[in-house]
A and B are shown apart, each in its own frame.
Chain A
Amino acid sequence: MAGSESLPPRYRAGERVRVRAAFPPGHVRTPYYCRGHVGVVERLCGAFANPEELAYNRPGVPRQPLYRVRFRSIELWPAYDGGPNDVVEIEIYQHWLEAVP
């Protein structure tokens, strides 16, 4: 992994965040189904080389903080018929997240 610089984390566990509703071309590791949705940061996982850069043989630095974000299933899926407390947890890199005021 080239370089060791990491971006500082912007969000803390428990904070509400929105996934950017962006649709860039290329190798992206943010699933479509959570884009534009609001979730809660479950934990910060550390900082990792950006896979969207690594996929094109670029160094992927500065490293991006990676979070596990928890989404309520009933918010992700309008027709969800499971329990109201069911959740999906997804790993999302910081540049895909926005603060929710």
Chain B
Amino acid sequence: MSKPVGTAGEGSRGYYRRMQSAVEELLILKGLFTAEEVTREVEAMASRSYQRGAKMVARAWVDPAYKARMLADGSAAAEELGLEVGPLRLIVVENTDRMHHVIVCTLCSCYPRMLLGIPPQWYKSGAYRSRVVREPRRVLAEFGTRLPDEVDIRVHDSTADMRYMVLPLRPGGTAGWNEERLAALVTRDSLIGVARLPDAA
């Protein structure tokens, strides 16, 4: 297997995919795990979706005490709703009228998979990872999110053992809505912070 020409990245996926298959086969041959275990893990990963995160957000919107607990300890708040988060610690950051949060991992593609599922392709792209720390307003605008100048931006670079989720602003026009209805308004991109939620129609 020859090394890819040029720098590692999108262009060399074929090489790394073959390398990954080869290593996986070797580990199975060595008895470290079985092919069935790999399949089960992949299925578990694919079955998780951002609806888990949305459930936490909807609870926080209707229950101020839960919201306070969630902002103090995101992992415990997830477990409180029966959502497994694994060994990584979850930090939830709250959007306000004056502050907007957005999540990235500039080093690789760290993402709160246990709560949001598999990250979108763009989250793993070199363009998003390098630009959102340097020119977040422009990147958000490309997602259709135009922030007023008086809103400060806080970019969270998940470089180590923490994982992040944004608590978006509750959309207007939702007074009296129950958690289920509210959860249905939450989008994946709003939990990453590249989108804000429109008011309910």
Contact = CB atoms under 8 A, between A and B. Distances in A.
A77 B152 CA distance: 16
A62 to B, nearest CB: 16
A82 interface: yes
A11 interface: no
Interface residues of B, number: 22
Interface of B: 89, 106-107, 133-137, 149-162
Contacts of A85: 152
Interface of A: 29-31, 33, 45-46, 48, 51, 66, 68, 73, 76-77, 80-83, 85-93
Given A73-B136, A88-B157, 7 more contacts: A29-B159, A33-B134, A51-B160, A73-B133, A73-B153, A77-B134, A80-B135
Given A31-B107, A93-B160, A86 B136 contact: yes
Contact of B159 (A77, A82, A87, A90): A90
Nearest to A32: B106
A45 B106 contact: no
Contacts of A80: 134-135
A68 B162 contact: yes
A81 B157 contact: no
A86 B135 contact: no
B152 to A, nearest CB: 4
B161 A91 contact: yes
Contacts of A45: 89, 160-162
